[in-house]
């Protein structure tokens, strides 16, 4: 049997179970739960938009549900008929009973078909609707601006794509059933009043009591449900963090502290769940008491039988109805929390769907043709992730067709940001970025992406084989092109040494490769993309100079006539560049080729010397030059 760790024993290891002042598990940001009413017209309308295409099915399901409710109503009536007309002790006539039984069987046959239809149609339809919602969200997320994505935890988006979508499923399924419940409720009320007005009214008199009780119950119940959802997502968030950060946690031996903190969260969650359960269940005895009252009323009212005002059949029918009467009320009560959850989820979903797409294609956007010259130009570009704090300040630079230009500068000087603009990941605040002579804002993003291939500072690989990763979206590319690219970046040898070679499966994020190897694969991926412009952001930072030199040699042939923009900290990497641009603090401070820059004796000169100078020979003020400025960006 599995061992449940005992929190007490865990505690001993951590100074007396006190919580450290600077430790949290799980996300720091508190999700503002959008809990509100159980019914929000706007959200229902948005959800309905997804159901709309399957209207016919929805209608079929609702009709089937109504038929089911009708049968539920009919059964006591049939029984009443049987009791009144067929089942009289000593009666000779069996035909009435036969008719009643026949009607009964017919009714349940209809019920069977209808209930199958309803469940199957609704079940399948809901699944399709869910996938449509998910697709819409996922598709939208492909377009929203990166500045939003930068600030949003993936885990949070995933919980919307998965958890929230599931609450909508629950909601759609129950809402169809609710239609049935409501129909049944009204049907029963109607039939009861029709059977016997005064008995009917007597039964219904308990309803207002129920509503009054509910009115008191609702606000606190809502809070309880809200708290339960909140703590639950907090606990799950902490768990996800533990999974993703497990290596960092283990290497810093934080397990015990984290366990304690997680225990706090999980325990708080347990408490709120129990409170919520209490609130959900407290309605049960109330509804039951009211049922009892109603039944007692009917039985006593049944004494009217003595006065021959109503008959036994009606009494029996009533008793049946009362039993059924409270079922819909009970399930409607339970559905309240489902509805509420669904509205909260719906709100979060629509938030995702409504995210602003800041970067649009213009209506008249042109497609960048592969024949374009491959030039890049920054004209007085000012850009900041936060407009108030520009990261790039009034930058102008030009990369001519076929040229290779290097960007260097201290860390945080804005190099990666500059190349992000070439790709129009973000829009500039002032100035213009031109690719192939066109302002990137006048081009379609798709065509721009096809002509600019990037190797990002952080290699990212997908689950799948090495081949899939190098080829990526170019599904038309043949295997030998993939192998050629791998050879060019010097990855071929290690790839074939893996079990499976090019078809070797990669672990999550390529975890079974070394970082340098991952970088090589993502480099190869950029080569296969076959774009006019190649942007390398520290593409060889984790690769030794010798391998790098081999790559550079192989690339000269491959990249003939293409434009290159290269970022590197190791200046040896870029000394062959046609031109070198030195960025500092978001400004271009020097431009020229290696020799010119060395002659200038500026920042480049100093950086270059540092690259292989001796530590001990360095004067302190030399160290000050860049590091402080770099540190202040």
Partner 1 sequence: MNSHADGAANNPRNPFAHVEAAGWGQGLRTLTRITYMNLRHRWQVAIAIGSTFIAAALQLLIPKLLGQAVDQVRMGEGISGGTVEQALWTSALLLLAVSVLRGLFTLAQNYFAESVGHHFAYELRLACYDKIQRLSFSFHDQGHSADLITICMLDIEGVCWYFSTALVRAVLLAMLIGIGAYMLLSTNLELGVVALSFVPFVAWRSSRTQLKLRATWDELQGRLSVLGRVMEENLCGIRVVRAFAAQAYEMLKFERVSQNALALAQERADIYARDTSAMTFSFFFAMGLVLWIGGSKVIAGEISVGTLTTFLTFMTVLQMPVRQIGLMINAFARASTCGSRLFGFLDLDITIKDAPHARPLEISEGTVRFDNVSFAYPGAENRQILRNISFQARKGETVAIVGPPGSGKSTIAHLIPRFYDVTGGTITLDGQDIRNVTLSSLRRAVAVVQQDPFLFTTTVENNVAYGDPWANEPRIERASESAQLHNYILGLPAGYKTVVGERGVSLSGGQRQRLTIARAMMLRPSVIVFDDSTAAIDAATEQRIRSAMRRFAKDRVTIIIAHRLSSVMHADQILFVENGEIVERGTHEELLVKARRYEALHNLQTRPRDDDGAN
Q: Please, what sign has the CA dihedral across residues 568, 571, 576, 582?
A: positive
Q: Which is nearer to ligand ATP, 35 or 385 (CB)?
A: 385
One symbol per residue from 478 to 507: x for binding ligand ATP (CB under 6 A), - otherwise; what is it?
A: ----------------x-------------
* Backbone φ, ψ for residue 397 (5° rounding): -160, 160
Angle between helices 206-244 and 197-204 (to 10 degrees): 40
**Whether the Cβ atoms of residue 429 and residue 384 lie closer than 8 Å to each other:** yes
Give the residue, chosen from 412, 431, 449, 464, that forms a contact with ligand ATP under the rule CB under 6 A.
412
- Give the 3-state secondary structure of residue 308: coil
User: Is residue 633 near Mg ion by the rule CB under 5 A?
Assistant: no
Using CB under 6 A as the binding rule, whether residue 220 contacts ligand ATP is answered as no
DSSP state of 359: S
Contact segment (CB under 6 A) with ligand ATP among 342-350, 358-366, 412-420, 433-441 equals: 412-420
Strands in 392-549 per DSSP E: 392-399, 404-408, 430-435, 438-439, 452-455, 464-465, 505-506, 533-537
CA distances for 268 relative to 18, 222, 271, 273, 591, angstroms: 17, 18, 5, 9, 59
Per-residue binding string, ligand ATP, 106-145, x by CB under 6 A, is: ----------------------------------------
Among the listed residues 265, 348, 415, 594, the single contact to ligand ATP using CB under 6 A: 415
Rounded least distance, CB 345 to ligand ATP, Å: 28
Range in contact with ligand ATP (rule: CB under 6 A) among 21-29, 113-121, 158-166, 415-423: 415-423
Question: CB under 5 A: which stretch of 123-131, 175-183, 513-521, 586-594 binds Mg ion?
Answer: 513-521
Q: How far apart are CA 382 and CA 272, in angstroms?
A: 50
Distance from C-alpha of 438 to C-alpha of 435, rounded to nearest angstrom: 5
Partner residues linked to 591 by β-bridges: 581
Question: What residues between 136 and 195 interact with ligand ATP by CB under 6 A?
Answer: 150
C-alpha neighbours within 13 Å on the C-beta side of residue 89 = 0
Give me the least distance between CB of 29 and ligand ATP, in Å please.
16
Residue with smaller CB distance to partner 1, 397 or 536: 536
How far is C-alpha 193 from the geometric centre of its chain's CA atoms? 50
Q: Does 514 bind Mg ion (CB under 5 A)?
A: yes
Q: How far is the CB of 49 from partner 1 (least distance, A)?
A: 19
Site string for ligand ATP, 530-559 (x = CB under 6 A): ------------x-----------------
Structure tokens at 454: 């990037």
The answer to whether residues 71 and 114 touch, using CB atoms and an 8 Å cutoff, is yes
Of 1-9, 238-246, 512-520, 600-608, which part binds ligand ATP (CB under 6 A)? 512-520
Question: Helix (H, G, I), strand (E, B), or coil: what is residue 381?
Answer: strand
Beta carbons of 582 and 588 less than 8 angstroms apart: yes
Which among 93-101, 271-279, 340-348, 409-417 is the span making contact with ligand ATP, rule CB under 6 A? Answer: 409-417
Minimum CB–partner distance for residue 612 and ligand ATP (Å):
19
- Pick the binder of ligand ATP from 414, 459, 510, 564 (CB under 6 A): 414
**Residue 197 binding result from partner 1, Mg ion, ligand ATP, none, given CB thresholds of 5 to 8 Å by partner type:** none
Residues 6+ apart with CB under 8 A from 295: 319, 322
> Nearer to ligand ATP by C-beta: 411 or 628?
411
Nearest to residue 538, comparing CAs of 567, 577, 516? 567
Taking the complex as a whole, the smallest distance from the CB of residue 144 to ligand ATP amounts, in Å, to 14
394 belongs to the binding site for Mg ion (CB under 5 A): no
- State how far the Cα of 103 lies from the Cα of 195, in Å rounded to an integer: 20
Kindly report the number of other CB atoms within 10 A of residue 217's CB atom. 16
Q: Please provide the DSSP assignment of 457-468 as one string.
A: SS----SEEHHH
Out of Mg ion, partner 1, ligand ATP, none, which partner does residue 27 contact, by CB within 5 to 8 A per kind?
Answer: partner 1
Residue 335 interacts with which of partner 1, ligand ATP, Mg ion, none, CB < 5 to 8 Å by class:
none
Say whether 378 sits in a helix, a strand or coil.
strand
Q: Applying CB under 6 A, does 512 fall inside the site for ligand ATP?
A: yes
Q: Which is nearer to ligand ATP, 191 or 567 (CB)?
A: 567
How many Cα atoms within 13 Å fall on the side-chain side of residue 478? 1
Q: How far apart are the first and last CA of the chain?
A: 55
Decide: is 416 part of the binding site for Mg ion (CB under 5 A): yes
Distance CA 346, CA 365 (A): 34
Query: Could you say whether residue 417 binds ligand ATP (CB under 6 A)?
Result: yes
> Toward ligand ATP, which CB reaches closer, 52 or 458?
458
Question: Can you give the binding site for ligand ATP, defined by CB under 6 A?
Answer: 150, 385, 391, 409, 411-417, 457, 494, 511-517, 542, 633
Question: Can you give the binding site for Mg ion, defined by CB under 5 A?
Answer: 416, 457, 514-515
């Amino acid at each position: 049997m599995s061992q449940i760790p005992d929190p007490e024993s865990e505690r001993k290891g951590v100074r007396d179970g006190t919580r450290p002042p600077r430790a949290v598990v799980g996300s720091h940001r508190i999700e503002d739960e959008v809990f509100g009413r159980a019914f929000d017209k706007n959200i229902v309308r948005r959800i309905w938009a997804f159901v709309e295409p399957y209207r016919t099915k929805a209608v079929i399901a609702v009709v089937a549900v109504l038929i089911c409710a009708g049968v539920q109503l009919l059964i006591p009536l049939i029984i009443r008929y049987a009791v009144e007309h067929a089942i009289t002790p000593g009666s000779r006539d069996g035909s009435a009973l036969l008719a009643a039984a026949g009607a009964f069987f017919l009714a349940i046959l209809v019920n069977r078909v209808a209930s199958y239809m309803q469940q199957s149609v609704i079940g399948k339809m809901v699944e399709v609707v869910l996938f449509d919602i998910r697709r819409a969200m996922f598709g939208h997320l492909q377009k929203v601006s990166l500045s939003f994505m930068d600030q949003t935890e993936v885990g949070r988006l995933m919980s919307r794509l998965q958890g929230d979508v599931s609450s909508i499923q629950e909601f759609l399924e129950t809402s169809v059933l609710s239609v049935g419940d409501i129909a049944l409720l009204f049907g029963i009320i109607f039939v009861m009043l029709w059977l016997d007005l005064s008995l009917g009214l007597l039964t219904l008199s308990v309803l207002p009591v129920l509503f009054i009780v509910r009115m008191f119950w609702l606000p606190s119940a809502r809070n309880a449900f809200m708290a339960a959802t909140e703590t639950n997502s907090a606990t799950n968030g902490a768990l996800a963090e533990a999974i993703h950060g497990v290596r960092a946690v283990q290497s810093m031996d934080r397990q015990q502290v984290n366990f304690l903190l997680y225990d706090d969260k999980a325990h708080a969650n347990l408490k709120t769940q129990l409170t919520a359960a209490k609130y959900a269940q407290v309605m049960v005895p109330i509804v039951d008491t009211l049922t009892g009252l109603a039944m007692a009323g009917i039985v006593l009212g049944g004494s009217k039988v003595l006065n021959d005002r109503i008959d036994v059949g009606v009494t029996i029918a009533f008793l049946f109805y009362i039993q059924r009467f409270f079922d819909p009320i009970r399930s409607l009560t339970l559905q309240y929390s489902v509805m509420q959850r669904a509205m909260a989820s719906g709100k979060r979903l629509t938030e995702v769907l409504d995210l602003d797409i800041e970067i649009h294609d213009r209506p008249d956007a042109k497609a960048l043709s592969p024949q374009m010259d491959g030039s890049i130009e920054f004209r007085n570009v000012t850009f900041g992730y936060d407009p108030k704090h520009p990261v790039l300040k009034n930058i102008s630079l030009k990369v001519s067709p076929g040229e290779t230009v290097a960007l260097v500068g201290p860390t945080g000087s804005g190099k990666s940001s500059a190349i992000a603009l070439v790709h129009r990941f973000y829009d500039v605040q002032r100035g213009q970025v031109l690719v192939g002579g066109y302002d990137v804002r006048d081009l379609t993003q798709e065509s721009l992406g096809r002509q600019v291939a990037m190797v990002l500072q952080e290699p990212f690989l997908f689950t799948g084989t090495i081949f899939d990763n190098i080829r990526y979206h170019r599904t038309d590319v043949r295997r030998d092109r993939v192998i050629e690219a791998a050879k060019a970046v010097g990855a071929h040898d290690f790839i074939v040494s893996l079990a499976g070679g090019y078809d070797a499966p990669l672990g999550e994020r390529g975890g079974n490769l070394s970082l340098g190897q991952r970088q090589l694969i993502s480099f190869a991926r950029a080569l296969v993309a076959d774009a006019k412009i190649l942007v390398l952001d520290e593409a060889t930072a984790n690769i030794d100079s010798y391998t790098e030199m081999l790559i550079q040699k192989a690339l000269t042939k491959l990249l003939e006539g293409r434009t290159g923009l290269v970022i590197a900290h190791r200046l040896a990497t870029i000394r062959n560049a046609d031109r070198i641009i030195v960025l500092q603090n978001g400004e271009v401070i020097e431009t020229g080729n290696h020799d010119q820059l060395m002659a200038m004796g500026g920042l480049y000169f100093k950086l270059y010397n540092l690259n292989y100078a001796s530590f001990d020979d360095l004067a302190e003020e030399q160290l000050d030059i860049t590091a402080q400025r770099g540190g202040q960006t």
